[in-house]
Structure formats: C-alpha cells, structure tokens
Structure 1
Amino acid sequence: MTVKRKTLAIIPIIAALAIAPAVAEPTPPPATAALTASTGFENGTANAPFTLSNFAAQGFVAPSEVGLDERSFVHTSIVHSGAKSLRITFPQGLYGDPAVTGAHANFDLPSSRTYWISQWVRFDSNFSWGGTKQGGKVGFGLVGGAGCSGGQTCSGTNGFSTRVIWRSGGGAALYLYHMDKPGTYGEELPLKTPSGANIVFPKGQWINLIIRVTTNTVSSGVAAANGEVQVWYNGQSALYRSGLRFVTNADQVDTAVLSTFPGGAEPAYAPANDSYLWIDDVKVSANSADICELSSC
C-alpha cells in the first residue's frame, strides 16, 4: 500500500522478543512547542465514519487514508471522556491489510527531534487476538522520513517507525524499525510492569499508551547512538531504550501514523470473530507538558 510521501508497509509481525528495562529514565527537557494536534472525536457525526476532514479540523492532516471511511465509527456509548470515541472494526477472517481490515493514515507533523503521542485504547470484551498465530498493530505510532518498515533494511536514509503491537494472548510490545534491528523485521520490545512482568492488554477496559521518540544526532553523515524510545502504560514507564540509531540524514519525527489491523500476512492471524478497538483522547506534542497523563495540564 503506497501513501503519499512515505510508505509504511503492511507486514507480518515476526521478530524475536527482546528484553528491555521497565525502569523510568529521565525524560529530556521539553521542546518549546504547543500541542501539535489532539482529538477526542467530538467533532465527528455519531454513528458515522470519522473522515480525514474530521481529523484535519483537529490538527491531524493526512494526504490519504485506507479503511477510515469503511471501518471507523464515531461511537457514543463507549467513551473514555466526552461524548464520543472512535471505534475501528477488524472483521472476522480478515488480516494484514487496511484495505480490508482496520485502518491506516499518515498524519503530517512539523519535523522535531522529539515527539510524544498519547492515546486511550480499549479492546472489546470479545476481542479475538487471532488464530493459531496472534499479533496486530494498535492505534497510533510515530514515524520519520520514509518510514522504514515491511522487512526493509533501515539504512539511515529511509526513515524509521515505532508502533505498539499485541502478541499472543494480548501481550503488549513496541514494534521498532531502526538501523540496528537484529532481524529482517522490526524489533519487538515487550512492555513491562515496574516489577518486570510482561504487560498483557486487558479486554473491556480503557488503557493509556504514551510513546516518546527522540531521534539520534548526526555528524558528517554518521549517526550517533543516542536515539531513544520510551513507552508509558497507564502512567508508568513500561519501556525505555537508549543508544538507538535511526538516521544518518536530517530526518526527524514527522508523522503520527494510525496503523491498526490484525496480522501478519497469513490467514492464521485472522480474528475468529468480528473484533473492535476503541480509541479516544489522542494528543501529539513536542512538549511533554502537553501530555496530561504525564503531568497536570
């Protein structure tokens, strides 16, 4: 699937699990920037799709989308706050391609070395994690440059991508494409509780996910190993990884990507029944003070 300006490929989630510390690390000083975009989906029409024009009115501008018009739904009975939320449908038996399941859109951001994105998500109480293979993308992530993904080698000039995924039984992880990923596909970094236990996504409950990405610095085309990612789960640090190399050029974080679907490129990833993911209260900023789940706003 090709999207204007960059392509984020639709791929199987295949990578060895990597252990990452769950200890909270110092957050870099916030940039002097206002909240870039936010939406609680309140400007959408109840029981109708949430369109690109609805997103644009909230600061999320994308050149194109796949699946929003067919499988997004402004919901009024299950919300995190306000009167509305966004529900995404994963139809029974379909997998791996937002043309038939879930949704995808690349929302442009002003380029910045550091961004935070916060979202509240809820898996329905009868959510199917898949079949004999289980995995899928969850909600929004952060991307830079050409959005290296889909089994590509991240050369430093073709960008990077960070997305949250579920694995077997709802295991939570960050799916990361960077220059030193250990395998063909993205590196999987499990989310951990403060005690070190693997986090498992619950069904039928709202949870908050925050991702921070800080790109590495570059000198004379050489990437310094000082990039970082951090994930918070319900306000607690669940993943911190430093020493990352994302780019050898001037690319920084410039996209908030809605990339949510089951699988995987095999029928084994297909859900056993129609399944739904709710999203609410999405915020994107280059300033951590704008992320109320981390600080008082």
Structure 2
Amino acid sequence: MSSTTPAASIASSYSLTTSTSLPFPTTTLASADAGAFMVSGWSLSKGRIQDGLDDLSFVTDPFPQGGVPGPASGSNSSNSPVLQVTYPANSFSDNTGGAQFYSLWNTSGDPFQSMMLTYEVAFDAGFDWVKGGKLPGLRGGPSTTGCSGGNESNGTDCFSTRLMWRTDGQGEVYAYIRTPNNICKSPGILCNDDFGTSIDRGSFSFASGQWNRVTLLVQLNSPPNVANGNVVLYFNDVQAISQGNLQLRSGSGVHANGIFFSTFFGGSDISWETPVETHSYFRNFEVWGSSSPSNLTGAKVNDACGFAHDRNWWGWIAAAFSIFFIALS
C-alpha cells in the first residue's frame, strides 16, 4: 500500500508557509442564508456567487461514518454542516445546475507564485457519473471570467486548474493553460482545441457514498517564457499526478489568486446531463501559499510554438485565408 502524506506535510515540503481556511457555519443553512454566509466570510470575487446560488446549502453530513482514508486534515468534524451542491435532473454546464464562484485569498504580502488547495468531496451513494463533470481547483491572473467555458488562456489573462470526474468516477486535473513545446504529445496530456487540457485522466478514481480528499499544488513557471510550471495532485493523501514542463503563464502579471469553486455536469451539451437530481458535498477547504514559483528546470518557450497552440491565432489565420480567397473569386 502506498504511503500517505497529510496536506500540512506536503505544504511544508514545498515551503508553503502561509495558510488559510474557509469557515463553515455551525448550523444548517438553506440556499439564501448559505449564500449570505459565503459572501460575508469567503472573500468572493465581486462579492457574489457567480452561478447556482439556489443549488447551494449547508446540510448535515450525509456520511458521518464514511471518513477519508489516511490522517484527518481540517477543522470540520463529522458533526459540522457540510456544503451541499444540487445538480437538478437534466442539468449540464454551470448555468443549468451545480454552482460556480471564485474565492480570492487576499493578503497584504507579495503575490502568490505557488498555491496548494486541499478539500474533501463526497457524492450521493450510487452517483451516476454520466460522461463527467467539474470540481473545484485553483485559478489566477487578472481576469476573473476567462479560462473556463471554452475561453482559453492567452498566457497573460488567467490560468485555471480544476479537477474533473469522468466516466466511472475517473479523476484528472483539467487545466486552461498554454500548451507550447509539443506538450500535447506528452504521455498523459490530452489537449482540446476548444476547451481545457486533461492531465493524467484516470490516474485516480472517486468513490461515491463516502468522503474523498484531494490536494492540488500549482507552482507557476518562472520566468514566464520558460515551461517549468508544476502541477501535483494527491488523492486520499497519496500522490496520483505530478506534471512538470508546464507554461501556466506567459506574463509576470499572472499570479495564483485563490479557489475556483466550479462544479457541474459537463460538458456543454445534453450528452453530459444528469438523468436524475443528485448531489455532491464539500468540507475542509484549506489553502497554502508562497511567493516562490517553481524552481524546476524547463525548456524555453518558442514564441512561434506558443502561437501555434493558441486557438485565436488559428482563427486569425483562417480569417486571413478566407479574405484572400474571397478577393480572388
């Protein structure tokens, strides 16, 4: 059996010395009161829940005996309420079910160049995974709306690293990042011209009817024109993913900013929808940070290579050829 490493020890090994956690209420709360609680204490971008307020509530832990394997890491006991997310029947994408918001970690110190998030997630017993869905992760950069929903990163606006479940609960890191230096040909990397990049799909699997712990580390590449960024994922305190050689940014104005709470079925069409109303549950959100970026080795990014993987660049080329052929006709 693989050895387990609690989140606090992982943070220490990467010299992540600053930490915070999300407070949870002491009593259950319906959606309106749940939203007010989160707005008042979770430092939400623009002071609001972006999508899905009606699908959020704090409820009694449905799996008080379904603890996570390995050492406990958080302040929420089984007696404390947990955050419930409802996915209505036939819902898919964040505007039809689930929820999405951005919890900024405001500090007075230097911007974060590395950040680590840990939390616990559970799914209803017998949860139908369908084709997949999104789960919370980290994001950064000055844009608070890009790097999701098909809005790709240009390297200076944002990055996002969420988790996904896939068919049968298979897990992965799902990232909106730049993909230069032929990284799309690397083992475990699945690129998509229209949406995000899958990292190590199936390297772990979520279980329904019990708690699962995920710990996600993101170290930004430095300098921005070198692909030495690093993403590491622990599942139930056992390392499942370690992916270096990443370019999470191409400009020094992109920093790690906080939790990208994003969960829904999908996918952007009805083939992803849940056939029945179902739920996920969350607790024990903790974040660690550091002003030090990745110090790993990596290859310098060729500008032409970076453009070649930018969907907008290909769009400009296609438009130019269209104009050219119209002029000839």
TM-score (norm 1): 0.76
Deviation at 1:29, TM superposition (A): 3.2
Partner of 1:188: 198
Bigger relative contact order (CA 8 A; separation at least 6): 1
Whether the aligned pair in 2 keeps the contact of 1:191 and 1:238 (CA below 8 Å) is no
Partner of 2:303: none
Bigger Cα Rg: 2
Partner of 2:167: 168
Whether the aligned pair in 1 keeps the contact of 2:114 and 2:220 (CA below 8 Å) is yes
Instruction: Name the CA shift for 1:70/1:56 in 2 (closer, same or farther; >3 Å).
Output: closer
Partner of 1:205: 210
Deviation at 1:172, TM superposition (A): 0.8
Q: Give CA deviations for 1:6-35 in whole Å, capped at 9, x if unaligned.
A: xxxxxxxxxxxxxxxxxx9x97632442x2
Partner of 1:243: 245
- SS of 1:65 mapped into structure 2: coil
CA distance in 1, matches of 2:43, 2:234: 22
TM-score (norm 2): 0.69
CA distance in 2, matches of 1:59, 1:152: 25
CA distance in 1, matches of 2:238, 2:160: 22
Residue 258 of structure 2 is aligned to residue 255 of structure 1: yes
Amino acid at match of 2:200: P
Residue 82 of structure 2 is aligned to residue 85 of structure 1: yes
How many residues get paired? 247
- Note the 1:1-297 alignment, pairs <5 A: 29-33=14-18, 35-39=19-23, 41-43=24-26, 45-49=27-31, 51-63=34-46, 64-78=48-62, 79=64, 81=77, 82-96=79-93, 98-110=94-106, 111-130=111-130, 134-138=131-135, 140-145=136-141, 146=143, 147-180=146-179, 182-184=191-193, 185-190=195-200, 198-218=203-223, 222-249=224-251, 250-286=253-289
Deviation at 1:51, TM superposition (A): 3.3
Instruction: Name the CA shift for 1:284/1:57 in 2 (closer, same or farther; >3 Å).
Output: farther
Deviation at 1:274, TM superposition (A): 0.9
Whether the aligned pair in 1 keeps the contact of 2:45 and 2:101 (CA below 8 Å) is yes
CA distance in 2, matches of 1:135, 1:29: 31
Amino acid at match of 1:242: G
CA distance in 2, matches of 1:223, 1:36: 30
Amino acid at match of 1:144: G
Deviation at 1:85, TM superposition (A): 0.5
Q: Which structure has the highest helix share of the two?
A: 2
Whether the aligned pair in 2 keeps the contact of 1:114 and 1:214 (CA below 8 Å) is yes
Whether the aligned pair in 2 keeps the contact of 1:37 and 1:59 (CA below 8 Å) is no
CA distance in 2, matches of 1:275, 1:282: 22
CA distance in 1, matches of 2:95, 2:192: 27
CA distance in 1, matches of 2:35, 2:245: 36
- Structure 1: give runs of 5+ residues left out of the alignment: 1-23, 193-197, 288-297
- SS of 1:188 mapped into structure 2: strand
CA distance in 2, matches of 1:30, 1:60: 25
Amino acid at match of 1:183: N
